[in-house]
Structure 1
Amino acid sequence: MEDLNLHGWLPISVWQEAGQWRVDWCWFGDMRLSQPFFGDAVEDALRLPFNQAFRRQTPLEVLGQWQRQSPGLAPNAFIFHASRCGSTLISQMLAQLDHHIVISEPPPLDTLLRSDLPLPERCVALKGLMSAYGQRRRGVEQRLVVKLDAWNIGELPLLRECFPDTPWLFVYRDPLEISVSHLRRPGMHMVPGMIGATVLDDGLPFAGQEDFIPRRVGRLLATGLDHCQALAGMAVNYTELPEAMTGRLAAFFGLDEGQYKQVFAAVGQHAKQPAQVFVGDSEDKRREASALLRERVLRWAQEPYEALKSLSP
């Protein structure tokens, strides 16, 4: 690694071993990242014979060294979200554009944001990570958009310290619909103890998933609301999608008329499962909600949701 020839390589995991931080790299070459999640792209890349034969691991400091030697694009936008609310649709629409690099929920970013590294070291590592993701591997890339995990709304102030000029938005949805989605198929952050400490924890006892999930959805919405008000974030309601990509989201992402017409190629597809046709399910979810779930959502999540709606046009 002395020559730091990392062209075509991207960080796929970051971890601490015997007190030392390490980076695992995977070779992508000029392959576009068009999958719904970065993890999907990693799975595809790891099937390549080259990656089955060769792996690269480096100290964390290499991220900063590589940034200085070969700086990539700085992030143009961050997408935060309340989960199951249309953020993947936005990222998949942008992924239709050759000039855009779209990184969706990369595990190394979450690891660094929630690590115990001192703040100065963490900022250096985060900037190096973004620079690595922002490499012009195909030669035509002009913009880098990063979608974070839902719980990373708690780390937004830290990310803002490292990237104070990068605009960000918070996508949200009716909390009853989010809660039903997680009752059907819980995300990692809706399973007690699965992802470690986050801003979603309230330390209170709970009586089953219909109590636990609405409380965490409420904390997601409340944290998003606080940060939108304090840190100039754009609040985007699920009901605005996808049409907002021809209006205020087109302006937010810097899309011209030709580009926002192109992004609509993804609209007919299910964002998380591109092989399937998208079918709206809001009414089905609302009918499915039990009386208990409705009461818990009203208690824990409705107020921040209504406040967020007042921030949207």
Structure 2
Amino acid sequence: MVPIGVNHESGLVSWYDLGHHHIYEGSYQRALSSHQAIMSIQSSRPPDTAITTRLLDIIDINIAERDPDLFIFHMSRCGSTLLTKALAQCRRNNVIGEPGVVFPAIHYLRMQNAQDEMVKRSMRSLFSALGRQRLDTHGNYIVKLSSLETFAIPILKAIYPGSKMLFVYRHPVEVIISNLKKPASFIGHRVNPWQANAFEQAAAMDDAEYLAAHIGNCMDEALRSVHEGFYVLDYADLTAENFGTILDKLCLAFRDEEQRNMQRQFEQYSKSDFKKRRFIPDGEEKRNSASEKVQKLYESRLQDRYHRLRNAPNNLFNQP
């Protein structure tokens, strides 16, 4: 059984039997939907997803401890799905893409005024359950979180001091334009996990202003995270040619055939599960299509942060 949801008000964790299924998709939720559809066809009835437990009780469940080897954070629409999906093509990687349980779990624990030790034990149990070894080949355990969950970097680093962490970012204008064309779900909710009771302030912003604030928060968190084992990666450097170097710097070793198979993902559009859709670079087009307002938001709020990340000593492509 693996956790598939946490209710941020009741603290109830929903569970699902994923069996020996390997997740190739960059999205945990899409993988679950695909598996449920397959199981419904095979058994002629919907699979059972009604099993729940209280979040605070999962520390008492006998779950084999499994620490993530790598956490992937990002600022939205910046190549994290591409990286996650490429890694997932190797069956030695147990890759969980945006499971949707971290933000509500931490929110619930905060509302319960849980002590640090209880937060640590609860989150460790939750991640161990997510990373349950479903295949004999599974070795590396990799978790990509949502851009909203970038706020949790210091929390997770305290819980997992030995896990590597990677923050993927992109030219902010490209991220804003991508989200204005096809808004991510968090934009409509105007969530701001960095500040309590910040909804009204965020609700007063238009989409471009909110995105600039969100991207700025994500970049600030990455810039504050200078501890050992934390790295940043620009989308511009996330290429098939650089993929081997990225793996080496993250201490992820693979056979040549496995690496070539993962690199093929760079030829495909990462948001599509159909391999016939080819990827077409569009960064320059997005920057050129930016309105005067978006350009001013970038220059006044985001440009300095972006350049600081480019020149950061923990940037993978500034490393000796």
Q: Quickly name the TM-score band, shorter chain normalised.
A: 0.7 to 0.9
Task: Determine if contact 2:70/2:165 at 8 Å carries over to the other structure.
Answer: yes
% same residue: 23
Is 1:52 matched with 2:51? no
Count of aligned pairs: 298
Shift of 1:114: 2.9
Aligned to 1:3: none
- 1:176 lines up with 2:173 in the alignment: yes
Give the distance between the partners of 2:92 and 2:32, measured in 1 at CA.
Answer: 21
1:86 equivalent to 2:84? Answer no
Give the secondary structure class of the aligned counterpart of 2:242: helix
TM-score (norm 1): 0.87
Does the alignment pair 1:225 with 2:223? yes
- Residue 269 of structure 1 is matched in structure 2 by 268
Aligned match of 2:290: 289
Pair 205,72 (structure 1): closer, same or farther in 2 beyond 3 Å = closer
- CA positional deviation for 1:257: 4.4
Unpaired runs of 5+ in structure 2?
Answer: none
TM-aligned CA distance change 1:59 to 1:210, over 3 Å: closer
Partner Cα separation in structure 1 for residue 57 and residue 264 of structure 2: 38
Shift of 1:175: 0.6
Aligned partner of residue 272 in structure 2, secondary structure: coil
8 Å contact 1:63–1:132 — kept in the other structure? no
Deviation digits for residues 150-176 of structure 1 (CA, Å, limit 9, x no counterpart)? 121111111111111111011111011
Distance 1:293 1:206, change over 3 A: farther
The CA deviation at 1:44 is 1.8
CA contact (8 A) 1:112 1:122 kept: no
Aligned-partner residue type, residue 57 of structure 1: T
What is the distance in 2 between the residues matched to 1:151 and 1:16?
15
Correspondence for 1:40: 30
Aligned residues: CA RMSD: 2.3
Q: Distance in 2 between the 1:182 and 1:273 partners?
A: 17
User: For the residues of structure 2 that align with 1:130 and 1:251, how far apart are their CA atoms?
Assistant: 24
Separation (CA, whole Å) in 2 of partners of 1:245 and 1:113: 33
Amino acid aligned to 2:51? R
> Could you tell me the TM-score, scaled by structure 2's length?
0.85
What is the distance in 1 between the residues matched to 2:303 and 2:52?
46
Distance 1:22 1:268 in 2: 40
Shift of 1:105: 0.7
> Where do 1:102-117 residues align within 5 Å?
102-115=95-108, 116=110, 117=112
Say if 1:175 and 1:92 are closer, same or farther in 2 by CA, change over 3 A: same
Q: Distance in 2 between matches of 1:278 and 1:114?
A: 37
Cα shift readout 1:258-310 (whole Å, capped 9, x = no counterpart) = 23223112111111113121111101101210111101111111110000000
Q: Which runs of 5+ in 1 are unaligned?
A: 1-8
Q: Which amino acid aligns with 1:302?
A: Q
Bigger drift between 182-191 and 137-146 goes to 182-191
Give the Cα–Cα distance (whole angstroms) in 2 for the partners of residues 16 and 187 of structure 1: 20
CA contact (8 A) 1:27 1:45 kept: no
Counterpart for residue 6 of structure 1: none
Alignment of 1:56-71 (within 5 A): 56-66=51-61, 69-71=62-64
In 2, are the aligned partners of 1:250 and 1:256 still within 8 Å (CA)?
Answer: no
Shift of 1:239: 0.7
Preserved contact between residue 86 and residue 266 of structure 2 (Cα < 8 Å): yes
Q: How far apart, in 2, do the equivalents of 1:263 and 1:53 lie?
A: 31
What is the distance in 2 between the residues matched to 1:307 and 1:226? Answer: 11
Q: Deviations over 1:61-81 (max 9, x none)?
A: 453233xx3415321000011
User: Post-superposition, which runs of at least 4 consecutive aligned residues in structure 1 deviate over 6 A?
Assistant: none
How far apart in 2 are the matches of 1:58 and 1:114?
A: 17
Flag the 1:279–1:226 CA change in 2: closer, same or farther, 3 A: same
Give the Cα separation in 2 of the matches to 1:285 and 1:185: 13
Tell whether the 8 Å contact from 1:26 to 1:46 is kept in structure 2 after alignment.
no
Alignment-derived partner of residue 157 in structure 1 = 154
Match of 1:76 among 69, 73, 80: 69
Alpha-carbon separation, structure 1, partners of 2:4 and 2:202 = 35
Residues 22 and 256 (structure 1), Cα distance of their counterparts in 2 relative to 1, 3 Å cut: same
Question: What is residue 143 of structure 2 aligned with on the other side?
Answer: 146
Is 2:23 the partner of 1:22? no
Structure 1 residues 277 and 83, CA, compared in 2 at 3 Å: closer, same or farther? same
Preserved CA contact (<8 Å) 2:153 2:221: no
Q: How far apart in 1 are the matches of 2:234 and 2:2?
A: 32
2:180 is the counterpart of 1:190: no
Aligned equivalents of 2:259, 2:248: Cα separation in 1: 7
